[in-house]
Structure 1
Amino acid sequence: MSTPYKGRIAGGPSLARNVVSFGAMIVAVALFVQAWIVVQARPQDLITGARGMADIISRSLPPAFDQFGPTLMPVLETIDLAIFGTVIGVLLAFPLSILAARNVTPGKPFYYGARAVIGITRSVPDLVWALLFVTAVGLGPFPGALALAVHSVGMLGRLFAEVIEDMDMGPVEALTLTGAGRLQVFTHAVVPGVLPSLLGIALYRFDENLRSSLVLGFVGAGGIGFMLLTAMNLFQYQTVAFLLIVTFVLVTCAERISAYLRSLVA
């Protein structure tokens, strides 16, 4: 009598896990089906529209390599947008992350205030920030740079705060016991403990900002994006093809350089 009873007890958790897994699978399938319906997915349209895509590709060849000279300044603008947005974002996000980290914040009002700022700047997309700044300062690279900076504050502030919260508090406690002041603890314990991680995150954010700066050009923020939008509106598909090649080369080089620099600070 005891053996069947033990078998039922042993098999109970396994059966419950199977039921939960099956239920999760059903939910996942249902979510995908409703997504398929909501987005009005029509795979057959890709087949019927293949001729139109092939026509655009044929008109894009060969790429307009004679546009190399006029593209240099937009490329520089795109890179500078990412540099400006990343540097300003780091400078503003770092002190904000100190206030937003539970283990080093001066008090709860500072903590909740910093978290609110980080949440607002992070939740609003950089494209929306660019539209707001374009209406404020006009067209050009400056509103795009401001948009990247503000959005970077939210993204970097959250990541920086998480790194600081997960840091080893041993050096901080040791310096505190020796009677060191708050500034000394910060400069000699907090900063050395988190600096490599923060630099890696900042370099990764630069990579993201470079890609975002390409899209911000579509709202008049300068760079390759603005030149690409102009070429598309004028049906200059050969120029579009060349700009896509330039974009690919630029993003690929930025990824490799960023990965190399992150490996140095890791």
Structure 2
Amino acid sequence: MTVAVLAVLGQAVVIAHVDPGQLATGLGGLWRLVLDGLPPDPSVLPNAAGAVLQTVDIALVATVAATLISVPLAAAGASTLAVGRYLAGPVRAAAAFLRSIPDLVWALVFVAAVGLGPFAGVLALTVHSVGMLVRLFAEAIEEMDAGPVDVLVTSGATRMQVFSHAVLPELLPTFGSLALYRLEQNVRASLVLGFVGAGGIGFQVLSAMEEFQYQQASMLLLVLFVLVILVEMLSGKLRALTR
């Protein structure tokens, strides 16, 4: 087993062209880039405020939409529920397809479909988030205590009644926690989507880099860092309330 693991790792290093010497050579250029970005230029902050708000709003709308779509699909994709007996396989396969395509590729698709702008970013993050949340929600349903579900099924409750009276009351905090964690990921993802014209502050970062305005780019990166930290802190506090 050890030999097999080392062989797999060795071929991965070769195929990936891992070259520490090349990294050492490039450190000089990286250091010059860092120096060119100092000190950060605060003149970009007024224009960055609107882009930051747009970035957060893209992630927020996409997360809420994906959560609302994913809850019923997860019920259909959970093998432990009667409703998922025939739908579990197809629903899981569809969700796997949605999440297997990176959100950046989805952004390119929707930019071509609806044009440049934040709406393309919302659609891209919604589709990719559905693929992730359906899996997570379905696994949470399958791992829950089956006692309440069995009691309602044997008493003649409908599938909708089983889901609304047994599954949702027990798993609503879990669903909320997973949705908040997905919101954190979507905020970070929405930054990258701006590189392909899907709105947000990422487009400003790309523009500054292309124009060699490294001091402006470094200021925008600091803004992004603060934004991500604040979102993670807020999400963590909200998740603590849902427990």
What range is the shorter-chain TM-score in?
over 0.9
Q: Deviations over 1:97-130 (max 9, x none)?
A: 0100011142543222312221211111111111
Which residue number in structure 2 is paired with residue 17 of structure 1? none
Q: 2:194 corresponds to which residue?
A: 217
Correspondence for 2:215: 238
What pairs with 1:110-149 in structure 2 (closer than 5 Å)? 110-149=87-126
Provide the residue aligned with 2:65 in structure 1. Answer: 88
* Cα distance in 1 between the residues matched to 2:43 and 2:116: 27
Find 1:199's aligned residue among 176, 189, 192: 176
Separation in structure 2 between the aligned mates of residue 152 and residue 247 of structure 1, nearest angstrom: 21
2:51 matched residue in structure 1: 74
Contact 2:118–2:199 (CA<8 Å) still a contact in 1?
yes
- Runs (5+) with no aligned partner, structure 1: 1-22
Q: Whole-Å Cα distance in 1 between the matches of residues 85 and 169 of structure 2?
A: 25
Amino acid at match of 2:217: V
- Give the aligned partner of residue 42 of structure 2: 65
Task: Give, in whole Å, the separation in 1 of the partners of 2:117 and 2:232.
Answer: 25
Greater shift, 197-206 or 112-121, is seen at: 112-121
The alignment's C-alpha RMSD in Å is 1.4
- My pick for the range that moved more, 232-241 or 29-38, is 29-38
Q: Which amino acid letter does the alignment assign opposite residue 101 of structure 1? A: A
Instruction: Answer yes or no: is the 8 Å Cα contact 2:75–2:163 preserved in 1.
Output: no
How many angstroms apart in 2 are the aligned matches of 1:87 and 1:98?
17
1:193 Cα shift?
A: 1.4
Distance, in Å, in 2 between the alignment partners of 1:109 and 1:187 is: 20
- Residues 1:43 and 2:20 are matched in the alignment: yes
- SS of 1:151's partner is helix
Equivalent residue, structure 2, for 1:55: 32
Structure 1 length-normalised TM: 0.87
Choose from 150, 153, 161 the match for 1:176: 153
What SS is found at the alignment partner of 2:178?
Answer: helix
- Kindly state the Cα deviation for residue 31 of structure 1 after the two structures are TM-superposed: 2.0
Larger radius of gyration: 1
Q: Distance in 2 between matches of 1:180 and 1:259?
A: 37
| SS of corresponding position for 2:144 | coil
Shift of 1:56: 1.2
> Greater relative contact order: 1 or 2 (C-alpha under 8 angstroms, separation 6 or more)?
2
Shift in Å, 1:262: 1.0
Alignment-mate amino acid for residue 225 of structure 1? G
Give the SS at the match of 1:49: helix
1:155 equivalent in structure 2: 132
CA separation of 1:235/1:108 partners in 2, compared to 1, >3 Å: closer, same or farther? same
Encode CA deviations 1:51-94: one digit per residue, 9 max, x unaligned. 22222111111101111100011101110111011011101111
Q: Could you say what secondary structure the match of 1:186 adopts?
A: helix
**Partners in 2 of 1:174 and 1:49 — Cα distance?**
65
Q: 1:229 aligns with which of 178, 190, 206?
A: 206
Q: Which amino acid aligns with 1:245?
A: L
How much identity, in percent, do the aligned residues show? 49
> Residue by residue, what CA displacement relative to the aligned partner does 1:155-176 show, whole Å, maximum 9, x if unpaired?
0000000000111111122233
Structural mapping, 1:1-20, within 5 Å: none
In the alignment, is the contact (CA less than 8 A) between 1:98 and 1:105 conserved in 2?
no
Q: Report the residue type matching 1:61 in the other structure.
A: L
**TM-score, length basis structure 2:** 0.95
1:29 corresponds in structure 2 to 6
CA distance in 1, matches of 2:47, 2:240: 35
